[in-house]
Structure 1
């Protein structure tokens, strides 16, 4: 089958999110053809180039969402009326209680207008859009948080959603692009899934959405981090909430990466019957030597591995280690991570170094003399930690101190290495650990210290927990289980949506290809009827039924 893989800020680019699991998925399913439709997030990402692609990636289409894409087209009177009507529906849903019907009507109306007439970039930045937003914000029943919005807020909001809606204006929606896909697989929700929504709308292509994080939560945090005015944050939060609900409503199957993500999806309206938890697949082989070796690490060393940033709460970890070091003076803490990038991370690292010097005034925290200092800050690839496996092998206990965490990758890597772990109860930590490590409340240095001391003083317990952790990780979190799960989901989805592509049923001379048409194509009724192209102007948004009903004659996926 032909899979349209939809990504944002990841695969096939060499940097970004979700690129590794996408690569493992694509390479693990060589029997399928993959067409990659990628949205890039920055010029720097594009400058870094692509990953090496396997031969069965037959097409790659890319588009930036960070740079304006004005096609130079403007609307006449009729198109302006259509735009105003569609944008008014979308704005009303965003400003009120998020009516899914109104949001869908506005979204697909704008998509159809962009597909047939273009010009959406200029229209969303026009005076018509600003006046429409003003009317929606002041209408009866609008959210209280948007009543105080002023013209600068309308301009800021329309600028943000113009960027989010750029996929509507792409030239990806033809018979030779997404129209040729048997299945669209979005590597995340939100903007990345928009092309999948339109492929379903225009061609009836089934949509699979995978989320290993919570995009909606990330949008909430980004809005606050951007120092936007309160009405703009409220509008953006409502817009992304409506978009998430529409994506979940139209997806045939949604695969959260953990229960934490699943709860967010259900809260946004996802049908539990369409949810299938599929844990991310990780490469276990690189950790085999440590996990199956006899070396259990330095029994007096705690190791922390991850990106150095405020969400990891190294401040609490340092205070906890101060208590550990007072009770067990021979212990050490090694903080190991990739090179720090960005001024914010650099300032946070400097703050952590200063705090370590204050907590241990007689012993400077110098990264170059690990053996003589209780605390060290090291980089992956440095002289003491050339590789991740060396980092996890260095200590007997691996610590995670985060206050915010999605799927804890470093924790799974520690489990592959057969290490005992102490973690804070955030995100999917409890689900991942499953009783094979100690879990304490976040922002509680005393509890974190007590748990570390308990494991440092009990080598038999450390060994027992480490063995159980490795066994659990090999059972649940390998590339093999991830690929097997998606292989089954692909086949199940395509079995409910037989494909009829002319290019696959005839050869170059126009002669029929033997066995190219599935036998069920001859069944009477609409069960396997060819995909229709509903008119964006006339048809209302369709609702995807669950897999148990999608195959019924006359069903929405027929």
Structure 2
């Protein structure tokens, strides 16, 4: 079958989210043909180019979310009226507060506002298709005035009523960026209209093309989320005002609810994400948890070799940022050090951004304060109980060696989605101590110790319990590796999606009918072998052709679409 893979800020670019996961999925499902439709987030990402793509990727079409030139589309009177009505309905759905009698736990997809948002979204998409784009209209004063009217209307959100002009301009600009996929030319019969299934790798902007492919061409949609965008919005710290934050959250809730409602299947990466999706309106009958697939072979040598690590060394591995709560870990280690003077802590990781670099500096300063004698060099060189290292250092040449350097791996986060570092530690056969956040308990499954977050004493006691009991560490490490090999490998991930693809397509209605010269349908005119190269791709009878193709159409050629405005270049040029 042909899969339309919809990505945002990741595959096939060299950098970005879910790049490795998508590449492993595509390479693992060579029996299918993939067309990639990628939304690019930044100019830097676009300049970085693509990773090498396998031959069964038929085409790649890309469009930037970071910029959009004025499309130059000037609406006539009727089109302006259509836009005003549709955008006004969209704004009203965003600003309307829940009804007083609505049950507390009602999903976001329930109620008239969900239908109102969806209807307005598809009305805007139809307008963009008919008129050639929405960019100028979404940036117009008409859009801002419609948003202002919705904020001032009776029954509007309390926070929305306080929105001033700068707030309205900020929200209107956000909505314009979020709705840029509506203006793309991806939804015709030579684009997403020709695929058998759309697979969106997130429930936000990447899912919008899938919604429109379903609306215009009846293509079923599969949505995979390893991190729920609405959750990230709530947890994020920004300088947005309260009205802006409330309106953006409302937009993301409404969009997520529409995506979940229209999707044929939703695949969260863990039960934690699943609960968020169900609260936003996902039907439990359509939700299938599919754990991320990770490459286990890189950790095989460490996982199967005898444990030669220092039995009193704790290891933390990850990206340094405030959510990882290394401050709590350092305070816990101070307690550990009092009870066990031989204990050591190795912090292996780098800062992802300026905030992370500042936080790393604070942690270094705190370590020097908590262990002043060691920091001042009273002990011998290399005897410092706390070390801050990076992958690639002489003692930590690779990721597997980082986990192998300690007897216990620690995770101290206060916020966590799917804890990748824990899974890597499990592949290495290491016992773990973690905080009870995100999907940690689901991942560990009884093969490690779990303590409350922001509790240095509990973290210290759990670490000491494992440091003092080598036999228990060995049992937990072996159980952890067995669990990881069963649930979190690339192979199980690929097999799960292969089965889901077949199930969705088997329930989807037939959208392509082969007809003869008289226009009569030909049963079995497009056999299952039609997707295989060779002689059987020709029509079954002379003169027979698909109804959706023109008789003058040349043979299909894979293309890579350039950035806005989507000029195509031959695939033979290879990946950039």
Length-normalised TM-score, structure 2: 0.86
The C-alpha deviation readout for 1:347-367, integer Å capped at 9, x for no partner, is 11100000000000011299x
Equivalent position of 1:362 in the other structure: 373
| Structure 1: tracts of 5 or more residues without a match | 507-511, 520-528, 532-558
1:239 deviation in Å? 0.5
Equivalent position of 1:207 in the other structure: 221
| Structure 2: tracts of 5 or more residues without a match | 99-112, 517-521, 530-545, 549-576
Matched position secondary structure for 1:55: coil
Matched position secondary structure for 1:304: strand
The C-alpha deviation readout for 1:221-265, integer Å capped at 9, x for no partner, is 44x42x111111111000000000000000000001111000000
The C-alpha deviation readout for 1:437-470, integer Å capped at 9, x for no partner, is 0000000010000000000000000000000000
Equivalent position of 2:568 in the other structure: none
1:327 deviation in Å? 1.0
1:92-491 alignment runs, 5 A limit: 92-97=92-97, 99-222=113-236, 224-225=237-238, 227-337=239-349, 339-364=350-375, 371-491=382-502
The C-alpha deviation readout for 1:157-181, integer Å capped at 9, x for no partner, is 0001101111001111111110111
1:143 deviation in Å? 0.8
Matched position secondary structure for 2:74: coil
Equivalent position of 1:540 in the other structure: none
The C-alpha deviation readout for 1:6-47, integer Å capped at 9, x for no partner, is 010111111111111111110000000000111111111112
Equivalent-residue separation in structure 2 for 1:48 and 1:467 (angstroms): 41
Equivalent-residue separation in structure 2 for 1:38 and 1:493 (angstroms): 22
1:153 deviation in Å? 1.1
1:215 deviation in Å? 1.4
Equivalent-residue separation in structure 2 for 1:415 and 1:235 (angstroms): 41
Equivalent position of 2:56 in the other structure: 56
Kept in 2, the 8 Å contact 1:125–1:155? The answer is no
Equivalent-residue separation in structure 2 for 1:43 and 1:332 (angstroms): 43
Seen in structure 2, the aligned counterparts of structure 1 residues 513 and 286 have a Cα distance that, compared at 3 Å, is farther
Deviation >3 Å, runs of 4+: 498-502, 512-515
Kept in 1, the 8 Å contact 2:321–2:352? The answer is no
Equivalent position of 2:83 in the other structure: 83
Aligned length, in residue pairs = 512
Equivalent-residue separation in structure 1 for 2:375 and 2:11 (angstroms): 42
Equivalent-residue separation in structure 2 for 1:298 and 1:486 (angstroms): 41
The C-alpha deviation readout for 1:99-145, integer Å capped at 9, x for no partner, is 11110111011111111113411111111111111110111111111
Equivalent-residue separation in structure 2 for 1:216 and 1:372 (angstroms): 45
Matched position secondary structure for 1:254: strand
Equivalent-residue separation in structure 1 for 2:200 and 2:133 (angstroms): 26
CA RMSD of aligned residues (A): 2.1
Equivalent-residue separation in structure 2 for 1:443 and 1:148 (angstroms): 35
Equivalent-residue separation in structure 2 for 1:154 and 1:365 (angstroms): 55
Equivalent-residue separation in structure 2 for 1:445 and 1:51 (angstroms): 43
Q: Does 1:516 align with 2:526?
A: yes
The C-alpha deviation readout for 1:332-387, integer Å capped at 9, x for no partner, is 100001x4342211111100000000000011299xx9832100111111222110
Matched position secondary structure for 1:14: coil
Length-normalised TM-score, structure 1: 0.89
Matched position secondary structure for 2:319: coil
Kept in 2, the 8 Å contact 1:365–1:375? The answer is no
Kept in 2, the 8 Å contact 1:365–1:374? The answer is no
